[in-house]
Every structure is written in C-alpha cells, then in structure tokens.
Amino acid sequence: MASSPEISRLQRVLIGHGALLLFTAGVIGFGFLFFLMGKIALWPIPGEIDYKMPGTYDAWRMAHMEGIANGLLLWLTAVVLPLLPFAFKARKRIAYGMIVIGWTIVIASAIDPMFPDSRGLQFGGPMTNQIAFFLFYVGVLGAMVVPALIAYRCLRPARADTALETARERVA
C-alpha cells in the first residue's frame, strides 16, 4: 500500500469535499423538510413562514440522497486511493475527477426541486434545465469513465513494469 504525504493530502481533500457534500445534503434536507411541512418553521425558533417550497417529493428526496451518496463515495475513494494500481499523477486525477463527479451530480440534482421543468434529462427547455443537463452530462460521463479505468487497471494481469513502479513508490 502506497502511503506518502502527497497521498495523505489527496485523502484529506477527498474527505473534506465529502464532508462538504454531506453538509450540502443536510441543507437540501431542510428544503425537503420545509417542502413536506408546507411551511418554513424550525423549533425552537419562534414563528413560521407560510411558504410552500417548489418541487416534488421525488425531486427533493433525490437531491437530498445524492448529496449523501456522493459525500460518502468521496470518503470511500479516500480510503481506497492508496490501493489503486496507478502512479501518483493518475491517483491525483482520479481524486479530483471524483470530486468533480460528486459536485456536478449534486448541484444538478438540487436544481430539479427548485426550478420547474429542470430535471436535466434532455437538452432543451428553460436555461436551468440546460444547466442541469450539462452538469449531469459531465458527472455521468465521469462516473462511467473513472470506474471503468479503475476496473481495467485493477483486474488486468500485472505487468513487470507496473510491479517495478509500485515497488519504487513503496521505497520512496
């Protein structure tokens, strides 16, 4: 297992962004709560605002869960990062790629409950739908490419030069 100050820094960045995504999921969760209650009210804060949040139950639930799932996925990436059979530069690309994937999917999911006709499933419609569409496009494309590359490198037979590179990293 390769462990170095550089890898530890990447792990901290992944953990930090994962925590921010979990925090974002909590904020979205308050929007979901207010949607379910049909008003904005937080006990023990006195008073309430009679306002019906826009969106649907499914849209709010999905936005909330995307934040949780992607935050935890970044934490999982931080754990397995040292085990990946890649050089440091490729691990760095994977780490930052996963951060981009997480944020694009969460932001795109959060657009749906806030703006009508903005699910981002296809191009067209209001500008908010187009923004969600392109964010999903980037996130989903990355979510297909990054795991495919990891699977390829982890499951292919080890080559001699790969073993030598891994041995050099362990010594360094």
pLDDT in tens, 72-116: 999 999 999 999 999 999 999 999 999 999 999 999 999 999 998
Q: How far apart are CA 3 and CA 75, in angstroms?
A: 17
How many structural domains does the chain have?
1
Count how many residues are written for the chain. 172
Average pLDDT score over residue span 151-160: 85
How far are the Cα atoms of 71, 75, 77, 96 from residue 148, in angstroms, in the given order?
Answer: 20, 19, 14, 16
Whether the full predicted model's pTM is greater than 0.85, yes or no, is yes
Is 129 a residue whose pLDDT tops 90?
yes
What's the alpha-carbon Rg for the chain, to the nearest Å? 20
Mean pLDDT of the chain: 92
CA atoms within 13 A on the CB side of 168: 9
pLDDT band at 147 (very low <50, low <70, confident <90, very high): very high
Containing structural domain, residue 125:
5-171
Q: Which two tokens stand for residue 43?
A: 């006990």
